[in-house]
Every structure is written in C-alpha cells, then in structure tokens.
Amino acid sequence: MSTATETKMGIGGLLRRLLPQVTPYRWLLVITLVLTFAGSLMAQVNAVVLDRAVDAINALLHLEGGFQWSEAARILVLISAILLGKEVLAAFITFGQRFFGEKIRIHVSRDLSLRVVDRILEFRMAFFSAAGNEPGKLQTRIDRGIMSLSNTVKNFFIDILPLFTSAILALVLMYAANVYVGLVATAIIPVYFWITAVQGRRMKGWRHRVFGTHQQLSSGILNIIESMGVIKSFNREQVEASKQAALQEQSTDQQMQTRRISFLYEGLKSFVEQIGTVLIIILTAYLVLIDYPGMTIGKIMYHVMLFANVSAPIRQLHRIYDDLNDALVYAEGFFGILDADAEVEESGKHAPERVEGRFEMRHVEFTYPGGTHALRDLTMTIEPGQTTALVGLSGAGKSTIVNLLDKFYQPDSGTITLDGVPLDQWDTRALRDNIGLVLQKNHIFSGTIEENIRYGRPDASQEEVFEAARKAFIYDQIVALPDGFNSNALQFSGGQQQRIAIARMFLKDPPIIFLDEPTASLDAIATEQIKNSIDAIKQGRTVIVISHNIGQIIDSDRLYVLDTGHCVQQGTPAEVYRQGGLYKDIFDASARSMNADKIASTMEAPSR
C-alpha cells in the first residue's frame, strides 16, 4: 500500500484547485475586488496631482506679472486637501479590502481543515501504516498544507490583485501620456518575470528537500516525546539530541542554500528594476528638452511615480512567488491526501437487524503495507455463541486476524464471510456496531472519564455509564476522585485506563467481542475481577480471545494455534494439548514461568 498520491501542479493548477474553495464566498470576493479596483485608482492620485502641481508651480514662476503668493497658497491648499482626502478615503478602502480578503482566507483555512479531517476519517487503516504516513509526517503535511494554501489565498486576493491592478492602471496612464515611455516600462516587465521563473525552477528541488527535512524533524520530535520513558531509562538523551542536531544541521544547510539562490536572483531583479527607472527618467527628460507635444517638467515626476506603481508588483513578486512555490510543495502533499480515492475505506450495503457471529476464513493471504507477510493460506471457522482462542508466539498473526475481521484491512486473497456473507459486502458501520474491541493498549481520549466510557454508546444514560464502570470494577476508584466521573481520564494509570476501555465495551454490549490481551496491564486481583465480568458477558456471544494468559484461553470452546501466519493446530484446549506440538510447548512454558508447582504446593500447605 502506497502513500497518498502527490499531485504535481503548477501555479495555475494550484489556483484552479483553490477556486472551488473561494467560490462559496463569492460576495466577499466581489466586495474585495471592487475595493481592490478602487484602491488601485487611489494609488494613481499622487502621480496625477504631482504632475499638475509641478506644472502649475512652474507656470507661477514664469508669470509675466511676477510670482503671486495668493495663487501659490491656493494651489498648495488644493493639493493638500486632495492628498489628505485621498489618504482618508484610501485608509477606509484598504481596511475593507484587507478585512474582507482576510475573512476569505480564514474561512478557506477552516474549510480545508474540515475537509481533510473528514477525508482521513474515511481512510482505511492501511493508509496510516504505510511508509510516509507516520503521525508526525502526516500532521506536517496537513498543517503546512493548510497554512500555505490559506496564505496563497491571502497573497492572491490581498496582495497580488491590488498590486497588479494598480500596475495595469499605471501602465495605461503612462501609455496615455506618451507611448514611448509606456513601451520602455513594458519592456522591463518580461525580463523581470523571466528571471523570476528561472529562480523558481532553480529553487524547486531545494524546497522539496527542505519540506522532507521538516517532516523528519516533526516526526523525530514526536517520537522523542512518545518514547521519553525508554530514552531516560537507557540514558540515551545525548543520542537522541545528536540525531536531532544532525537533522537541524541538514535543515540549516538546505535553508541557507535556498536563501543564497533567492538573494542572488533578487539582487539581479532589483538591478533590472533600477535600469527601468533610469531609462524612464532619461527618456522623459529628453522628450521635455526637445519640447515634445504634451511633455512638461511635471511629466518627469509623473512617469517616475507611475513606473514605481508598475514596478511595485516587481518589488513584491519575489516574495509572493517564493510563497507560491512553497505552497506548491506543501499543496502537493495536502491535495494528495484529498485525492487519495483508493485509500477510502470500502463499504457494502449488507446490514441485517440480527447478527449471528459466524466467521469463516478460507485460504486468506495478507501482507502489511510495510511488507510483512502476516497470514499464509489461513483457513478457520469462528462458531457463533462460542469463545475461540487464538494462540501463538509474538508475530504469529493473531492480531492480524482481528484486524481483518473488523475490516481494518482487506486480505490480499482468499475469502472472509460473516454469517455466510462476504465481509466486503457488509456495511462497515453496521459491522462495527456489532463488534466490541478491547486491545492490549486502548486509546483514551482527552476528556472526562464519563465521556470516554460513553464513547461506547453516546446515547447511553448516566446510570448505564455507571453500571458499565461497575462491571469493569472501576466505579469505586472513579467516585473516590474529587470530580468523580468528570475527572480527566488521562490522569489514570495504564491499568485503570484499560478498565475504562473495558467499561466502554460493556456499555456498547455487542453480539461479537474481540479481546486482544484485555488484561495485560492489570494486576492479579483486577485481572480476576475483569475475567469474571468478561465471563458473564460472553454468554450467548461470539468471542475471540488473544492472550498469553493460560487462564483466559484454557476455558475457551475452541482454540487455534498459529505459527508465522499458518494455522498449525486446532480443537478444544484439552485436545490440542494432548496433540503435543507448539501449544503444549507454550502451555508448559507458561506454567513454568508462573512457578505453577510452587504455587500449587503453597496453596495446598496447611495454614497456621
């Protein structure tokens, strides 16, 4: 099983993928665009006013009747009023344009987050165990994907659109004033864009390397946090610190290389921009000197300021273009998750009102995404209403069988049926509604104890929650807490959390129960209490037990012994023991490890 397909795309493809995310907010988009156009008009006011002001002042200096202060004051007041009024109006326009643009970005970010959560909840378990989909790496792909995509919305609707709208208007005004000046300004633009495109191609490979290293760093830190107990017990803090230091050094080198390339091209683009400014000044001054029609001294500053508006996107383009290329890297991983249709968990339509619980596996082969061949030509039958034990050494394939019967994975070949219906034809939700699963290590959610127990059946009454806790022999410990059932479930020990998980299963009360080392984290007294409760709930249900505890498997109705994915023995526990072989070896070794002889003699010794 491979990781989610990464979508290769360019900037145009990225914007096309984002457009459906923006269209639900079309009215916000329209308002933003209108304000953008208005703001672009405001950006040209300074150049127009300065052009007219310079010409008016120049005319005052050459009046036949001499310089007049009253006329100069009138011009200055008028200029001040226009410029200050324009600034006030521009402030409101800029506020609205940025506010509505940011509102679009925030809403798109929220929608993308919800979409990806809904998507990964649809995926089968094989996706999460595939290489490259480790929790830390997957979280990095999602977090950075959402961040970069929402920033792309910001760059496009809040940054790029105002800049380029202003640039186009400025260019139109330059052509209207003088076509030769407009052509010079236009000639500079493709050169700058060509340099930017070359920069993007040079840096794309480095961005992918930086992204991969970021994934490794996030995954490594998460692994350190999860493994802190083991790290400290072996005094391996320095070893783990060295691993992270090596990754950080690699990340630093990669980032510095991208910056070196970026700064080199930015310097080149700045040089091209300054050449354009110099050419505009020289050409305009020349046209003024030869008394070209319509060209006045004011036009020198006019064209320089308009070219500044044309080159404003150029000054910002390297940053925005870098952000867009970063977004391409992260978007490929993010949209790869959304596009991973092959990873969606399959579901049939069979959903009967009553489930008997008869499983049949015929010639089943299964290999995990990592390449581990877990089951080989496996055939077995789980009878309804009986307790079936799966026994074998670690790695024999016991837990894999449970994973297949619960449709967490699909077999490579062979057939699995429940009540005579192939498992792939069963409605997945209906199937799992009828199965209770207790693992060796159960996940406890952040929240109250009651919320964690109620997870087994959200509509259960509070009394039913209490009764489930009693059956799991955890009720007294819960009520002894200051906040009782409202206490944080994560404050409990591993064994107590295991009982919460068992209470969750009791509350669900399903016809089929899978128990994978259900009492592995419990003390002897708790194990006996839970065993008694499980024995009571077993009645009339189909139960599969995986355990290394002899006491939990010896009273099963049927027993299957697995060895490297094969079924090597089957029958009742007594029958299989008499056959000798692997089960007898495991049974005898378990008895010896518990010092069964000494335990028996101790129990037989008369008490004083």
pLDDT at 421 over 90: yes
Is 380 a domain residue? no
**Residue 4's pLDDT band (cuts 50, 70, 90):** very low
Contact 379, 432 (CB under 8 A): no
Looking at the structure, tell me whether residues 337 and 441 fall in a common domain: no
Question: Hey, what are 27's tokens?
Answer: 């009215």
Per-residue pLDDT at 295: 78
362 band by pLDDT with thresholds 50, 70 and 90: very high
In this prediction the pTM is 0.68
Nearest Cα residue to 530 out of 573, 484, 468: 468
pLDDT value at 326 more than 60: yes
User: Is there a single domain that holds both residue 338 and residue 445?
Assistant: no
Q: How far apart are CA 214 and CA 244, in angstroms?
A: 11
pLDDT at 3: 45
Pull the structure tokens for residue 314: 């150029």
For residue 68, the model assigns a pLDDT of 67
**CATH number of the domain residue 484 falls in:** 3.40.50.300
Of 302, 324, 342, the one marking the end of a domain is: 342
Chain segment 11-41, per-residue pLDDT in tens: 777 888 888 888 888 888 888 888 888 887 7
H or E segment and range at residue 415: strand 413-418
In a domain, 480, yes or no: yes
Task: Please tell me the distance from the alpha carbon of residue 10 to that of residue 200, in angstroms, as a whole number.
Answer: 11
Does residue 156 sit in the same domain as residue 298? yes
34 in the same domain as 155: yes
**The domain boundary residue, chosen from 509, 537, 572:** 509
Is residue 62 in some structural domain? yes
Give the whole-angstrom CA distance, residue 425 versus residue 350.
6
Instruction: Let me know whether 103 and 247 are in one domain.
Output: yes
Q: Which domain holds residue 73?
A: 11-342
Statement: residue 7 has pLDDT above 60: no
List the one residue out of 540, 536, 557 whose CA is nearest residue 355: 540
CATH number of the domain bearing residue 267: 1.20.1560.10
- Count of structural domains within the chain: 2
pLDDT tens string 373-416: 999 999 999 999 999 999 988 888 998 999 899 988 889 999 99
Q: Are 7 and 332 in contact (CB under 8 A)?
A: yes
Domain-embedded: residue 537:
no
> Is 482 a member of any domain?
yes
Q: Would 114 be classed as within a structural domain?
A: yes
Report if residue 147 sits inside a domain: yes
Q: Which residues of 237-271 are buried (b: 16+ CB within 10 A; e: fewer)?
A: eeebeeeeeebeebbeebeeebeeebeebbebbee
Q: Please determine, for residue 262, whether its predicted confidence score (pLDDT) is greater than 70.
A: yes
**DSSP-assigned states of every residue in 200-232:** HHHHHHHHHHHHHHHHHHHHHHHHHHHTHHHHH
Mean pLDDT comparison of 192-201, 237-246, 316-325, highest-scoring range: 237-246
Find the range with the poorest average confidence among 102-106, 179-183, 230-234: 230-234
Question: Are 129 and 273 members of one domain?
Answer: yes
Is the same domain home to 326 and 452? Answer: no
378 within domain boundaries: no
Order the strands of the 373-382 sheet from edge to edge: 373-382, 359-367, 413-418, 421-422
What is the model's pLDDT at position 154? 80
Q: Are residues 328 and 451 in the same domain?
A: no
Lowest mean pLDDT among 180-184, 253-257, 582-586: 253-257
Comparing CA positions, the residue from 138, 143, 136, 144 lying closest to residue 222 is 136
Least confident of 138-147, 204-213, 369-378, 422-431: 204-213
Tell the burial category of 468 from Cβ atoms under 10 Å away from its Cβ (0-12, 13-18, 19+): buried
> Do 439 and 318 belong to one domain?
no
Most confident region among 165-174, 544-553, 574-583 by mean pLDDT:
574-583
Mean pLDDT over residues 289-301, rounded? Answer: 79
Q: What is the pLDDT of residue 298?
A: 77
Give the pLDDT score at 151: 83
Give yes or no: residues 448 and 324 share one domain: no
- For residues 359 and 347, give the distance between their C-alpha atoms in angstroms, rounded to a whole number: 18
Mark whether 453 and 312 lie in a shared domain: no
247 shares its domain with 137 = yes
Domain boundary among 453, 483, 509: 509
